[in-house]
């Protein structure tokens, strides 16, 4: 394998020799589950700009994160996106490198860094929930940066972009604008400075919405009345058993047991946040159109993880049900099919090789993802959360979840084709299928170096 610097410097020549390199814009939302887009099946939510991307691009309707090794699921999720590495490998290299000193020495590449070294102008703004020093490797320019996990959306503590890559806490300041507006404005300003015939660019815009606290501006909050928001089919006052994480911070956002009225209120607030960030995404898309950049720009829209918000008696993302591990993922741009919905089992870390190949760049050897358009399709998906939850889902829509809590194991088996809301546990009725999926789960764990499981 090439040394990191040798590899990155080798990228520049073939890219710059191209006649018109592809621009990239990545729009990344926070805590947005897959079922919050009107064009993909939710008639109660208003998302005209996300709908616009769905109609003009390809939506991967079964895109997953691999889970989390910490309650702050967005930390590994964002590291996975950036590195193209799977959950337990990125845990060693970025999320908790001190636990694995030998693994931490292994090289890894960050996708904006690869584009930067290939001649792209790279711009970043918004949430960065990983090591600050990695930001400097990725971006040659930027807007306001939020280095935390969550914040008051009206008073976000941000750092100005520093070309030297130094971001000490004492140089951060409190923003005076709503988070989504602030980050979208920075992206719009960057795009307005671009010229269609200028250097190729990659812009990474990471919103902090719809993460709580859910304080959408009044215009958007007024769009949703709690008494008109439908309860999810799998609403439960309480989770049916101890899954090992019933008292984590996210679960304390609502009382126990959950009430219908409280969950409706949370959903109304959540939908308002989604609609607000949708409007800011629209500003970025409008700017691409008005500047003439849209025709040669690949737009990626994705989320970092899902969220329960009342489903299965849960509120957060610290689980492996579909509402928490499935996310929106849409790509639009030159050569990408319009209005297509692809049910393939994919991961968000598949974006790294996909973007490289769309732009004509080599894919680093450290990347584990698969090209969304030309890579081999997976026959199953593996997810995990901390040490006590693991799941495997097959392409024929069977899903096994295994819990190990306080030395006690239990499993759930769902047929997602007939039961997409994961309400009917079939594990006692189909022991043979449970055994088959246990075997496939063990294979995944071995392949992924999953040493964290109990």
Tell me if domain 4-378 and domain 379-454 are identical in fold: no
Tokens representing residue 355 in the block: 């973007």
First-to-final CA distance of the chain: 34
The β-bridge partners of 159 are 145
The secondary structure of the chain, three-state, reads CCCHHHHHHCCHHHHHCCCCCCEEEEEEECCCCCCCCHHHCCCCCCCHHHHHHHHHCEEECCEECCEECCCCCHHHHHHHHHHCCCHHHHHHHHHCHHHCHHHHCCCCCCHHHHHHHCCCEEEEEEECCCCHHHHHHHCCEEEEEECCCCCCCCCCEEECCCCCCCCCHHHCEECCCCHHHHHHHHHHHHHHCCCCCCCCEEEEEECCCCCCCCCCCHHHHCCCCHHHCCCCCCECCCCCCCCCCCCCHHHHHCCCCCCHHHHHHHHHHHHHHHHHHHHHHHHHHHHHHHCCCHHHEEEEEEECCCCCCCECCCCCCCCCCHHHHEECEEEECCCCCCCEEECCCEEHHHHHHHHHHHHCCCCCCCCCCCCCCCCCCCCEEEEEECCCEEEEEECCCEEEEEEEECCEEEEEEEECCCCCCCCCCCCCCCHHHHHHHHHHHHHHHHHCCCCCCC
Does the domain at 4-378 match CATH 3.40.720.10? Answer given as: yes
pTM (2 d.p.): 0.93
Q: How far apart are CA 6 and CA 104, in angstroms?
A: 20
CA distances to 123, 216, 346, 434 from 268, in Å: 33, 10, 29, 37
Q: What is the pLDDT of residue 334?
A: 97
Q: What is the pLDDT of residue 339?
A: 98
Q: Which residue has the tokens 């890579």?
A: 375
Q: What is the pLDDT of residue 184?
A: 98
Q: How far apart are CA 140 and CA 341, in angstroms?
A: 34
Does the domain at 379-454 match CATH 3.30.1120.10? Answer given as: yes
Comparing CA positions, the residue from 354, 345, 353 lying closest to residue 325 is: 345
Q: What is the pLDDT of residue 98?
A: 65
What b/e readout covers 261-277, taking b as 16+ CB neighbours within 10 angstroms? Answer: ebbbbbbbbbbbbbbbb
CB 201 within 8 A of CB 22: no
Q: Phi first, then psi: what are they for 411, rounded to 5°?
A: -130, 160
CB 359 within 8 A of CB 368: no
Q: What is the pLDDT of residue 198?
A: 85
Sorted by where each begins, the domain ranges of the chain are 4-378, 379-454
Q: Output the tens digit of pLDDT for each of the chain's 454 residues.
A: 334 334 333 333 333 434 579 999 999 999 999 999 999 999 999 999 999 999 999 999 999 999 999 999 999 999 999 999 999 998 776 777 666 656 556 678 999 999 999 999 999 999 998 888 889 899 999 999 999 888 999 999 999 999 888 888 888 999 999 999 999 999 999 999 998 788 999 999 999 999 999 999 999 999 999 999 999 999 999 999 999 999 999 999 999 999 999 999 999 999 999 999 999 999 999 999 999 999 999 999 999 999 999 999 999 999 999 999 999 999 999 999 999 999 999 999 999 999 999 999 999 999 999 999 997 899 999 999 999 999 999 999 999 999 999 999 999 999 999 999 999 999 999 999 999 999 999 999 999 999 665 4
Neighbours of 116 (CB within 10 A): 19
């Amino acid at each position: 394998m090439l040394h990191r610097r040798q590899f990155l410097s080798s990228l520049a020549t073939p890219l710059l020799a191209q006649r018109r390199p592809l621009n990239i814009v990545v729009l990344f939302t926070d805590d947005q589950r897959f079922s919050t887009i009107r064009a993909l099946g939710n008639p109660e939510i208003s998302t005209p700009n996300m709908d616009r991307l769905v109609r003009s691009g390809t939506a991967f309707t079964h895109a997953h994160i691999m889970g989390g090794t910490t309650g702050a699921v967005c930390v590994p999720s964002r590291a996975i996106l950036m590195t193209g590495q799977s959950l337990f490998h990125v845990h060693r290299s970025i999320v908790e490198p001190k636990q694995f000193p030998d693994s931490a020495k292994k090289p890894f590449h960050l996708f904006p860094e690869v584009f930067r070294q290939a001649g792209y102008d790279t711009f970043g703004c918004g949430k960065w929930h990983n090591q600050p020093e990695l930001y400097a490797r990725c971006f040659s320019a930027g807007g306001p940066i939020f280095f935390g996990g969550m914040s008051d959306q009206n008073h976000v503590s941000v750092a100005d972009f520093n070309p030297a890559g130094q971001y000490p806490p004492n140089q951060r300041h409190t923003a005076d604008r709503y988070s989504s507006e602030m980050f979208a404005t920075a992206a719009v300003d960057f795009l307005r400075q671009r010229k269609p015939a200028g250097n190729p660019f990659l812009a990474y815009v990471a919103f902090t919405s719809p993460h709580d606290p859910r304080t959408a501006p009044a215009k958007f909050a007024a769009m949703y009345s709690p008494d008109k928001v439908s309860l999810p089919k799998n609403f439960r006052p309480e989770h049916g058993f101890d899954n090992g994480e019933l008292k984590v911070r996210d679960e304390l956002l609502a009382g126990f047991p959950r009430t219908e009225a409280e969950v409706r209120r949370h959903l109304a607030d959540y939908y308002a946040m989604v609609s607000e960030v949708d409007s800011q995404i629209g500003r970025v898309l409008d700017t691409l159109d008005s500047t003439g950049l849209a025709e040669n720009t690949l737009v990626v829209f994705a989320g970092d993880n899902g969220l329960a918000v009342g489903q299965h008696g849960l509120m957060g993302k610290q689980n492996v049900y579909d509402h928490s591990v499935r996310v929106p993922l849409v790509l639009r741009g030159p050569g990408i099919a319009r209005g297509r919905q692809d049910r393939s089992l994919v991961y968000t870390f598949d974006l790294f090789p996909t973007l490289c190949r769309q732009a004509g760049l080599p894919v680093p050897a450290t990347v584990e993802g698969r090209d969304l358009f030309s890579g081999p399709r997976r026959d199953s998906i593996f997810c995990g959360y901390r040490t006590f939850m693991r799941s495997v889902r097959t392409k024929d829509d069977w899903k096994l979840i295994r819990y190990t809590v306080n030395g006690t194991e239990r499993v759930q088996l769902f047929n997602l084709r007939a039961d997409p809301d994961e309400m009917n546990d079939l594990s006692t009725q189909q022991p043979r299928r449970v055994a088959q999926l246990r075997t496939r789960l063990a294979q995944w764990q071995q392949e992924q170096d999953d040493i964290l499981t109990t």
